[in-house]
Amino acid sequence: MGKIIEFMYRRKALFRWIFFGMLGAVVLYDFTVPRPHHPHFAGDSFYGFWSIWGLVICLAMIIFWKWLAHGFLERDEDYYDN
Amino acid sequence: MITSGIFLHPATWFIVGALLLPFAAKFKLQKALLIAVPVLAFIQIYALPADFGHVQYLGFDLIFGHKDKLSFVFLHVFTLMAVIGCIYGLKVEETEQHIAAFLYVAGSLGVTLAGDYLTIFIFWELMAFASTFLIWFRKRKRSIEAGYRYLMVHVAGGLILLAGIFLRYQNVHDLSFDRILVEGATMADYFILVGFALNAAVPPIHAWLPDAYPEATVAGAVFMCAFTTKTAVYVLARAFPGFEILMWAGAAMTLYGAGYATIENDGRRILAYHIISQVGYMVCAVGIGTEMAINGACAHAYAHILYKALLFMGVGAVLHQTGKSRLSELGGLYKYMPITLVLTVIGGISISGFPLTSGFVSKSMIVEAAGEHHQLGVMLMLLAAAVGTFLSVGLKLPYFIWYGGRQSDFEAQDPSWNMQLGMGIAAFMCIFIGCNPDYLYNMLPYAVEYQPYFGYHVSESLQMFAFTGLGFYFMIKKLTPKRFPASEHLTAHLEATDHGSHHAGPLMNLDFDWFYRKGALLFMWMAKNPLDALNELVSNVYQSIGCRMTMAIAKGSSWFDWHGIDGAIDGSARGVVSLGDKTRMHVTGNLQHYIGASVAALFVILAIVIFT
């Protein structure tokens, strides 16, 4: 297992392209599946919607919570000991 | 009838097992007992009748055994989890840790089978006390303090629950544990709801969980992550389905836990926050309250116990082998602990809900139930939390422990065979349920028409996760936990950086426990004098009443061959005493006496109730 990761690590660039290829593939796959009969909301009928959802929520979550942490929540680990 | 009923109850196996453990340890049978008890209990639950163990006590009808499909699915996963946890902790030498774990499991099974509120309360408190010891047995100063906070919060929660039970008895003179209708809910029911919600870690009464779980022992945390919150989900699902407040609270929990996990640095704390997030799905489903939602809550509880335990076992194994659990101190472990990596990643993709894993077939039921209930907002909150889950547990956690991060040399290797076996069984179950959802669906309380595997759903999940991966790829720098100079350079670092403008050590994030950890100090300062007086009064009362009670118990138990036991439990007794010494340094007053007396009283009551 360690060797496999080592092997992948040495071919970083290749695996980066495989990853990007996968991103394209999952979006393409979305065009092939039938839309749900009873869409819960507009997003359900929009091709590739969940790709945008995944990316936007992921970025928003990191930015919002990092802002919250840096601005308000972060303390030294021995904060309560003093 | 009653005596035969006792041994029907699976909790009895664990209580008897806990009593036998010191002897078993003496005769080198500890490991055999650790496997035999949970396996027997696991088999036992199939043979349970629907109703057993009715006891009349002081005019109350105590029901120790009430089994239906809702309780069975929880019993099934609790006993299975006990088997896995015991295998994982097999090589833990300290008998007392196993005793605590057994009693804790017994409490959980007792609640799950209870048919009335008094029985629930007895086992509820047993869980709280027993699990506290799983924190204390780590024996670090921080663990002991965290254990006290954990116990205090749970005692407070237990009192709220008890208040609700009393009020309820006053109102309706009926303590049978059954569904409460939203329309008829009174103040009493809301007290009970708050008592249950505290154990389900619903914010703002959740902070005990991320405070205490990361401080527990390695094996202890594996047990704790499975039982307390999921027992709470069970009682909520039975008593409070359809309470809309739970739906919103649950949806908020999913995002709250996932958010904190994004900014946390300690591996086990990340997982602890994700318990809040995942239990949020279940609480939300209970709040939706439709048949499909309740099915979803049960299925998700089942799946969650297995993958969360797997994650705690994986990160616990890293802590056990390297002594570290902060992401900022780990990295590059793939060379040394590859098996743990693979198994933990299986847990990580299961919790995220990848196709072919257990999370996919359980979580989607709840999301679908929210959609069918026309709660679009709730549905989208749950789907956003799924992104956050994959980000922090599927990507961040394994990445910074096993791959990126600090690339120093560790003297680590994969843990012992039993720890690997425990993880292996859990990982197998995650995949097995993902590939055979009917195994899980057939156990659920209502008939299932839902089918998780259809093109659109698979496509939705794959897109969400692939593009969360892209987001992680963009933000990897921002997520990298800050490194800190080793302690020998710390002084130099402090001098070099303008004091205060940079943090000098690892960081933590404030949460609601601030109110009782810092806010309480202020309160204590103001209330010091009256409290001191009260404390003195209480100790006086304790000394006159408590001592007499202790003497009475001692007399009553004199038929027991103390000399025989003495030899057997000598070792564990010494361990307890030394732990007691350690704790004594950190507390003032008679706290440990109160706890000891409460536990003793609890057992006496339990014994009287069961054996009369």
Q: Which of B145, B256, B263 to mutate to test the interface with A (most CBs of A within 10 A)?
A: B263
Q: How far apart are alpha carbons B568 and B565 in whole angstroms?
A: 5
DSSP state of B331: B
- pLDDT of amino acid B564: 44
Nearest CB among B459, B475, B506 relative to A33 is that of B459
Check residues B193 and B1 and name the one with the higher pLDDT: B193
Q: What are the tens digits of pLDDT across the range B292-323?
A: 999 999 999 999 999 999 999 999 999 999 99
B495 confidence band (pLDDT: 50, 70, 90)? very low
Identify the pLDDT of residue B176.
Answer: 92
pLDDT band for position A80 (cuts 50, 70, 90): confident
CB contact under 8 A, B455 and A72: no
| pLDDT tier at B493, thresholds 50, 70, 90 | very low
**How many other C-beta atoms can be found within 10 angstroms of the C-beta atom of residue B418?**
18
Which residues in chain A (46-75) have CB-CB distances under 8 A to chain B? 48-55, 57-59, 61-62, 64-66, 68-69, 72-75
Report, as an integer, the average pLDDT of B59-81.
93
Contact status of A31 with chain B (Cβ, < 8 Å): no
Would you state the pLDDT for residue B409?
A: 65
Average pLDDT over residues B253-280: 96
B262 and A72: CB-CB below 8 Å?
no
> Per residue in B400-447, pLDDT tens?
999 876 666 677 889 999 999 999 999 999 999 999 999 999 999 999
Considering only B120-129, B360-369, B370-379, B533-542, which range has the smallest mean pLDDT?
B533-542
Q: Could you tell me if B387 lies within 8 Å of chain A, comparing CB atoms?
A: yes
Q: State what percent of residues in chain B have pLDDT above 90.
A: 68
Lowest mean pLDDT among A52-61, B97-106, B148-157, B527-536: B527-536
CA B413 from chain center: how many Å?
28
φ, ψ dihedrals at A74, nearest 5°: -70, 135
How far away is chain A from the Cα of B288, in angstroms, using its nearest Cα?
A: 16
Whether A42 has its CB under 8 Å from any CB of chain B: the answer is: no
Question: Which of B480 and B285 is assigned the larger pLDDT?
Answer: B285
Tell me how far apart the alpha carbons of residues B261 and B352 are, in angstroms, rounded to a whole number.
Answer: 13
* pLDDT range class, residue B328, cuts 50, 70, 90: confident
* pLDDT > 70 fraction of chain B, expressed in percent and rounded: 80
Res. B593 pLDDT band, cuts 50 70 90: low
Position B559 scores a pLDDT of: 47
Task: Give the position of tokens 């996760």.
Answer: B465
Give the integer Cα–Cα distance in Å for A43 and A29.
16
pLDDT digits (tens, 9 = 90+) for B194-222: 999 999 999 999 999 999 999 999 999 99
Question: Which residues of chain B does A53 touch, with a Cβ-Cβ cutoff of 8 Å?
Answer: 383-384, 387, 463-464, 467
So what's the pLDDT on residue B419?
Answer: 96
Query: Which residue among A2, A55, A69 sits closest to B467, beta carbon to beta carbon?
Result: A55
Q: Tell me the Cα Rg of chain A.
A: 20
pLDDT at residue B570 tops 70: no
Residue A7: left (phi > 0), alpha (psi -120 to 50), or beta? alpha
Say yes or no to pLDDT of B499 above 80: no
Band (pLDDT 50/70/90 cuts) for residue B498 is very low
CA A67/CA B55 separation, integer angstroms: 56
Q: Give the nearest partner residue to B259 out of A29, A50, A65, using CB atoms.
A: A65
- Is residue A82 within 8 angstroms of chain B, CB to CB? no
Q: How far apart are CA B600 and CA B227, in angstroms?
A: 23
Instruction: List the alpha helices (DSSP H) in B455-502.
Output: 455-479, 487-496
Q: Which two tokens stand for residue B356?
A: 């072919």
In B361-496, the DSSP E strands lie at: none
pLDDT at residue number B180: 94
